[in-house]
Chains A and B, each alone.
Chain A
Amino acid sequence: MTTAPARPGLAPGIRAAARIVAAPDGRGGTALPVLDGAGPFALRRLRAYGPEARVALVGAMSAPLGGDRLTLTAEVEDGAALRFSTTAATIALPGRTGAPATYDTRIRVGDGATLHWLPEPLISARGSDLRSTTRVELAPTARLVLREEQILGRAGEPPGRLSARLTVHRDGRPLFDQELCYGPGVPGWDGGAVLGGHRAVGQLLVVDPAFEDAPVAPRALGATAVLAPLAGPAAVVSAVAPDGLRLRKALESGDLLADGAMWAI
């Protein structure tokens, strides 16, 4: 795991935004007419794979720090296919003022479009305070694979404070809406109902109209991970684990996409 370069002068409270637009290129592939990033966001176009455009976010400086306000927007237009990743874990760090940082991700996926949103984990470092929101709007025939992983504290340290809300709407109606809050000042977060001593938590969410006719059956994937169908054409693997490696293994053990080879992870 690499760490982004230190931020010059540690200027607190930056505002930064990045935006990705993916659209069909008219030749069966996907073009990236917009790929804008500034400050801590450096977006890199990777070599395309079949119909799919690929983008990696490269951490250009330490972020988010307390007081930062970051916004990331992705639009996948009708019929396009985009795969998003990050080159390293995102580490939430304390700022100088103690103010919380915000990190808001806004995603829209059009009809017949596919998005794989597979960032590396978010690590909540000691003393940090991050409020993250991810809001996804899916068209009725859009497909989505979204992975979200949170690691509470770097090796051997207690976590900072983290709240992460993930909201997915499909055809304008709510499909998935969860807010996870951990760390100092959050009541009960480490008790037997929430994390019970685990330090890595995540989910792999898959939305595919094909689930309408063939929903997955709920299944335990070990002692602290399950695969479950949502109330809609979607399924989620949810897991808690002692660390990030075991979390990733649990999330991938659902073989959620085994038969969907065309657009597998």
Chain B
Amino acid sequence: MAVGEAIPPTASRAALLVLADGRFPAGGHAHSGGAEAAVKAGRVRDAGTLEAFCRGRLHTAGLTAAGLAAAAAAGLDPLALDEAADARTPSPALRAAARRLGRQLTRAVRATWPSPELDALAAARPRGAHQPIVLGLAARAAGLTPLDAAYAAVYESVSGPATAVVRLLGLDPFDATGVLARLAPELDAVAARAADAARGGLDALPAGAAPLLDIMAEVHAAWPVRLFAT
């Protein structure tokens, strides 16, 4: 198949593994998804509190990101989705991080699944579009479905904090991975809900919010010394 030629929609489910891999070089490793601030505040201390943190993040920010990603993968207007993402992100630190990560992901996706749609978005948002929207367009370019895009988003919403807490607390990596495995049925449910919502168009997209994530993101951004960008 020639470079740039459209890939049939059922081309490769395995592309989802590439996209959702924590080693996909799109900058995620520098972000804790709010876990660093939660650890410092004593709200995440062990595997149990990590699980509660991840569950809350999954059903709020994770659901919202998955809805945006699924909608972008379904072909909704990325610029309208970018506005919808801004409205769903009251924290300026998190808006900046989402755009920075979107730009980093754009770079990686241009090397993996080049797409004129993504090029157009990058031209319209040179400082970066919100990451979930880029993720949705990446899935679309890779021949994946909106549900696949939602899966990548929900997995990312919990794998980032889990990995970060292993580094921050010295938490047993087996325990952290156990948390992710226990959340798997909920990842299924949230991804399905997000993909369903995306079928309803812009107004039906979830807007789940987590007050502590939003508040603590600003507090964290003001720390003079920290390990993670968010």
Contacts and interface: CB of A to CB of B under 8 A. Distances in A.
B87 A226 contact: no
A216 to B, nearest CB: 10
A231 interface: yes
B184 to A, nearest CB: 13
B215 A239 contact: yes
A252 to B, nearest CB: 16
B97 interface: no
How would you classify the secondary structure of chain B's contact residues: helix, strand, loop or mixed? helix
Interface residues of B, number: 44
A165 B207 CA distance: 8
B90 A238 contact: yes
Interface in A2-36: none
Given A179-B206, A192-B56, A192-B212, A218 B92 contact: yes
B6 interface: no
A41 to B, nearest CB: 27
A194 B95 contact: no
A228 to B, nearest CB: 5
A188 B219 contact: no
Most buried by A among B54, B95, B210: B210
Interface in B203-218: 206-216, 218
A55 interface: no
Interface in A188-219: 188-196, 198, 201, 203, 218-219
Nearest to A215: B92
A238 to B, nearest CB: 5
10 contacts: A165-B207, A168-B87, A177-B84, A187-B186, A188-B54, A192-B43, A193-B57, A220-B219, A231-B86, A239-B211
Given A180-B209, A226-B218, A236-B90, 17 more contacts: A167-B207, A177-B88, A179-B209, A180-B211, A187-B58, A187-B186, A188-B56, A188-B57, A193-B34, A193-B213, A218-B218, A226-B91, A228-B92, A232-B86, A238-B90, A238-B214, A240-B212
